[in-house]
């Protein structure tokens, strides 16, 4: 008989009578111990205030423990309340947080729902700690966005054209049911003097409820169409005023009149009306939200975060820049200073989706030094040569030409090239490493808070990793 391969000993009952504690198994510098030390020292007064107002019922779980549990779960990519509850039963790191009294999934879900905004507000405080650790330098910021699927079914959507037909059909059915009810009432009153009528009112109510929901959706689409039409009119007026100032005439045929009525193909979703159809990375279309982030180069700390239902990034540059300054001021992080003591411009790079002359001017006015691509650049494509000194003088160049020239300089090429490894990996870490690809909550307000929760836990991970390296 040939000798068999020797394997390591396996005894599933080895730990049956051996006490195991998280501290005896997990490394001393494990993420869970970092959070257990940090989170209870945060300002959780907004969370505790909720329980000061509610004195009924059994004693709740310690809020600091629940916050630590949620933050650790989001850090390691466990987002479902049921999966978090299961991990509290099976995972030593989770048990290090909750101990022997473990919350069930409903308690976890309700805690997140009740305190979602308070948890999101901790973004600035965590940013403040990151700044105190020296992880935010403001030497180079990068702005980008990424689409995340909404918690909305494509099968619960309807186009404006179909809604119009459905409203007509439902109104006709309601009229027919009302006539049938009147006729039935008259016949039964003549025969019996009274009528129970259990089924018909239910059918009528179901159709009336559906009609009300569809008409509300139509009003939303009509309001959106009016807002888009007004924005387009303003763009035309600004373009016409610019042509008149430059003494130019409109080229091409006269544009068609702008309609305030939604197109028949315009859609809205009934599970999350604020989610919009967007093109996804797999070249398909789905209901999504557009998550935005401003990231600092030093340690990839997120300093600004927001979510928009607009697929286009062009309108997001200025609001994100203003929010970033507000966050930095609230966190007590000082902006760079020049030798004369005045505030220096903060470099900020973004891809061509953010470029507009207005954005460049706004960023400059807010105290940023923008580096925004004026056109789509192919990966690994050869860079155009830098302008020679004999090029056209700067005053005669348009803002777009000046920005393109700025990006062709050695410093401009170097700074813009860093954008790809500053902000793009952050979305990869959130989507791929942590597995977050779809928002759990519905409604723009809740989604914004959920994104802040994701971003602050991203910062916690960076603080843990870089903080351990600094020790």
Task: Summarize pLDDT for 338-369 with one digit per residue, the tens.
Answer: 877 778 899 999 999 999 889 999 999 999 99
Distance CA 81, CA 173 (A): 43
Query: In this model, does residue 80 exceed pLDDT 80?
Result: yes
User: For 337, which DSSP code?
Assistant: B
Q: Give me the mean pLDDT over the 123-140 stretch.
A: 94
pLDDT of residue 158: 67
Query: In this model, does residue 111 exceed pLDDT 60?
Result: yes
Percent of the chain past pLDDT 70, that is, above it, reads 82
Q: What share of the chain is helix, strand, coil (3-state, %, to 5)?
A: 55, 10, 35
Q: Are strands 346-350 and 267-269 parallel, antiparallel or unpaired?
A: unpaired
* Nearest alpha-carbon partner for 303 in 333, 258, 279, 273: 333
Distance CA 196, CA 66 (A): 53
In which band, very low, low, confident or very high, does the pLDDT at 30 lie, cut at 50, 70 and 90?
Answer: very high
What does the block give as tokens for 70? 């949620």
Q: Which of 102-106, 275-279, 454-458, 465-469 has the lowest mean pLDDT?
A: 465-469
Percent of the chain past pLDDT 90, that is, above it, reads 47
* This model's pTM is above 0.75: yes
Phi, psi of 227 (to 5 degrees): -65, -40
Q: Which residue has the higher pLDDT, 290 or 231?
A: 290
Run of H or E including 468:
helix 444-470
Query: In this model, does residue 175 exceed pLDDT 80?
Result: no
pLDDT tens digits, residue range 423-449?
999 999 999 999 999 999 999 999 999
Q: How many CB atoms lie within 10 A of CB 467?
A: 19
* Nearest alpha-carbon partner for 354 in 381, 316, 322, 302: 316
C-alpha separations of 356 from 46, 135, 199, 237 in Å: 40, 31, 60, 17
Which residue matches tokens 């942590």?
434
pLDDT of residue 380: 55
pLDDT of residue 189: 57
Query: In this model, does residue 382 exceed pLDDT 70?
Result: no
Query: In this model, does residue 180 exceed pLDDT 80?
Result: no
Phi, psi of 468 (to 5 degrees): -65, -35
pLDDT of residue 133: 92
* Cα 343 to chain centroid, rounded: 31
pLDDT of residue 390: 41
Query: In this model, does residue 453 exceed pLDDT 60?
Result: yes
In which band, very low, low, confident or very high, does the pLDDT at 68 lie, cut at 50, 70 and 90?
Answer: very high
* Cα 237 to chain centroid, rounded: 33
Q: Which of 78-92, 129-143, 367-381 has the lowest mean pLDDT?
A: 367-381
Q: Which residue has the higher pLDDT, 228 or 191?
A: 228
Domain spans of the chain? 22-120, 126-152+273-456, 157-269
Distance CA 89, CA 72 (A): 15
pLDDT of residue 389: 43
Q: Give me the mean pLDDT over the 307-323 stretch.
A: 92
* Nearest alpha-carbon partner for 72 in 39, 114, 103: 39
pLDDT of residue 272: 78
pLDDT tens digits, residue range 49-65?
888 877 777 788 899 99
| Burial of 380 from C-beta contacts in 10 A (0-12 / 13-18 / 19+) | exposed
Q: Which of 68-77, 162-171, 189-198, 294-303 has the lowest mean pLDDT?
A: 189-198
pLDDT of residue 425: 95
Q: Are strands 276-279 and 285-296 parallel, antiparallel or unpaired?
A: antiparallel
Q: Which residue has the higher pLDDT, 453 or 269?
A: 453
What does the block give as tokens for 165? 């037909």
Q: Give me the mean pLDDT over the 254-283 stretch.
A: 76
In which band, very low, low, confident or very high, does the pLDDT at 106 lie, cut at 50, 70 and 90?
Answer: very high
Query: In this model, does residue 128 exceed pLDDT 70?
Result: yes
Mean pLDDT of the chain: 83
Query: In this model, does residue 471 exceed pLDDT 50?
Result: no
């Amino acid at each position: 008989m040939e000798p068999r391969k020797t394997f390591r000993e396996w005894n599933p009952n080895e730990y049956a009578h051996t006490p195991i504690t998280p501290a005896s198994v997990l490394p001393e510098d494990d993420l869970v111990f970092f959070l257990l030390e940090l989170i209870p020292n945060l300002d959780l007064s907004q969370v505790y205030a909720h329980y000061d107002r509610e004195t009924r019922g059994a004693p709740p779980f310690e809020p600091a423990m629940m916050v630590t549990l949620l933050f650790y779960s989001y850090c390691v990519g466990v987002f479902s309340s049921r999966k978090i509850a299961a991990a509290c039963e099976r995972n030593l790191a989770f048990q290090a947080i909750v101990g022997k009294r473990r919350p069930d999934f409903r308690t976890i879900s309700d805690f997140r729902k009740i305190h979602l905004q308070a948890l999101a507000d901790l973004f600035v405080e965590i940013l403040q700690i990151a700044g105190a650790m020296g992880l935010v330098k403001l030497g180079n910021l990068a702005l980008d966005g990424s689409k995340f699927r909404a918690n909305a079914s494509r099968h619960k959507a309807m186009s404006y054209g179909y809604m119009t037909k459905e409203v007509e059909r439902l109104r006709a059915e309601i009229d027919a049911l009302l006539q049938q009810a009147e006729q039935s009432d008259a016949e039964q009153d003549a025969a019996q003097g009274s009528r129970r009528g259990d089924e018909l009112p239910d059918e009528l109510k179901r159709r009336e409820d559906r009609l009300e929901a569809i008409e509300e959706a139509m009003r939303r689409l009509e309001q959106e169409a009016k807002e888009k039409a007004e924005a387009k009119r303003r763009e035309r007026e600004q373009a016409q005023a610019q042509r008149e100032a430059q003494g130019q005439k409109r080229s091409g045929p006269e544009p068609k009149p702008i309609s305030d009525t939604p197109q028949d193909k315009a859609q809205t979703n009934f599970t999350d009306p604020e989610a919009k159809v967007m093109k996804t990375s797999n070249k398909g279309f789905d209901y999504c939200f557009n998550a935005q982030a401003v990231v600092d180069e030093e340690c990839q700390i997120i300093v600004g975060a927001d979510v928009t239902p607009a697929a286009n990034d062009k309108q997001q540059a200025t609001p994100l820049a203003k929010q970033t300054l507000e966050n930095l001021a609230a966190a007590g992080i000082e902006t760079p200073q020049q030798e004369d003591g005045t505030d220096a411009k903060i470099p900020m790079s973004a891809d061509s989706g953010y470029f507009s002359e207005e954005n460049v001017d706004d960023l400059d006015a807010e105290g940023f030094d923008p580096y925004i691509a004026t056109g789509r650049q192919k990966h690994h494509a050869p860079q155009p040569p830098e302008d020679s000194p004999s090029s056209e003088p700067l005053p005669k160049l348009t803002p777009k030409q000046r920005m393109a020239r700025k990006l062709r300089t050695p410093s401009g090429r170097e700074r813009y090239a860093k954008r790809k490894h500053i902000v793009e990996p952050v979305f990869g870490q959130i989507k791929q490493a942590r597995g977050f690809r779809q928002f759990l909550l519905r409604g723009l307000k809740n989604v914004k808070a959920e994104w802040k929760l994701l971003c602050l836990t991203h910062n916690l991970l960076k603080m843990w990793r870089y903080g351990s390296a600094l020790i």
